[in-house]
Amino acid sequence: MTHPLSRLLVLSLMLLAGQALAVEPVLVLHGGAGVEKAGLTPQDQAAARAAMESALRAGHAVLARGGSAVEAVAATITVLEDSPQFNAGKGAVFTHDGKNELDAAIMDGSTGNAGTVAGVHRIKNPIQLARTVMDRSKHVMLVGEGAERFAQEQGVSLVDPAYFRTDKRWKQLQKALKEEASGQAHADLETAKHFGTVGALALDTQGRLAAGTSTGGMTNKRYGRVGDSPIIGAGTYANSQCAVSGTGWGEYYIRAVAAYDICARMKYAGQSLDQAAEAVIDEQIPKAGGNGGAIALDAKGNVAFPFNTEGMYRGRIGGDGVPHVAIFKDETL
């Protein structure tokens, strides 16, 4: 018969071992590349930094209580979607027809499960619907009216499309339409630099990775165009070793299968996170004619923030719960 003190000692040792094996949680985010100093007032910068810090704290709160990486990613992106400073959710840009079309994706690196939505008009937080697709459907991607019918069936609240209208985004569309009408530039090329996306990656205390991305697409886009954000492997990807969320000229990220390629380079070529991320974002995509950035996180807690534009909204938070954010290239995290 085991003595009660012996059982207590064993339990104590097991608890200590579990604590020793616990992974230091890490959360990183981006609010879009393509940021230009000339287009940002001090007030704009301050608002964006405050929103990123709030999003990091929301995600960290999930991780601090032992929540999953998927839950933390969804919580972080929800805050960014509710912030009009970014091209996602409330701050989404307008299409050529004066509408807001929203896309989002989330992926659980520990299981390989994923959910995405594209071309929705009435979903306040597309990242939450993407997670619902992952958790409660047999599918990976739902689009347009079908995605919104599914949302209603699942009890996801819808909003009036007017919720997404902001003066800033409307003025951007009017400028793009005038340029198009005057023949100053091919509209798609001229407005491509106005891309924007939000994304988050998390490593939880159990060592699980997750990735998520949400976007309002491209100003003045037509024909129901869908970019890389909701396409698994292009703008969003996670496995047990690596997680990536991209932000840039979506067509090039789709062609490069950019998010997956970063993780594949680590898995099959033995490259480090930094090497893989820089090879894809700073070499391969620019060589093809695109631009943008990404955030990447590995299972050891290493992070990478490659981008080849003047700025990229980005941030990170670790186990200490202190958020760190940056916008321009001369800022380090």
Q: Could you give the 3-state DSSP secondary structure of residue 97?
A: coil
Q: Could you give the 3-state DSSP secondary structure of residue 205?
A: coil
Whether 197 sits among the annotated catalytic residues: the reply is yes
Task: Tell me the per-residue pLDDT of 220-263, one tens digit each, with 9 for 90 and over.
Answer: 999 999 999 999 999 999 999 999 999 999 999 999 999 999 99
Q: Where are the domains of the chain?
A: 23-328
Q: What is the pLDDT, as a whole number, of residue 114?
A: 98
Residue 238 near residue 266, CB atoms below 8 Å? no
* φ/ψ bin of 212: left (φ > 0), alpha (ψ from -120 to 50), beta (otherwise): beta
Q: E strand or H helix at 173, and its extent?
A: helix 167-182
12-26, 207-221, 296-310: the lowest-pLDDT one:
12-26
Residue 16's pLDDT band (cuts 50, 70, 90): very low
Task: Tell me the per-residue pLDDT of 77-86, one tens digit each, with 9 for 90 and over.
Answer: 999 999 999 9
Mean per-residue pLDDT, 27-56: 95
Question: Does pLDDT of 188 surpass 80?
Answer: no
- CA 221 to centroid of chain Cα atoms: 20
Q: How far is CA 195 from CA 43, 155, 258, 299, 328, in A?
A: 21, 31, 16, 29, 16
Among candidate residues 274, 276, 282, the one with its CA nearest the CA of residue 260: 276
Among candidate residues 327, 111, 150, 144, the one with its CA nearest the CA of residue 238: 111
Higher-pLDDT residue of 17, 119 = 119
Task: Tell me the per-residue pLDDT of 91-103, one tens digit each, with 9 for 90 and over.
Answer: 999 999 999 999 9
Find the catalytic residue in 197, 205, 247, 309.
197
Residue 73 near residue 59, CB atoms below 8 Å? yes
CA distance 177 to 52: 31
178-182, 232-236, 265-269: the lowest-pLDDT one:
178-182
Q: How many residues does the chain have?
A: 333
Topology annotation, domain 23-328: Glutamine Phosphoribosylpyrophosphate, subunit 1, domain 1 (3.60.20)
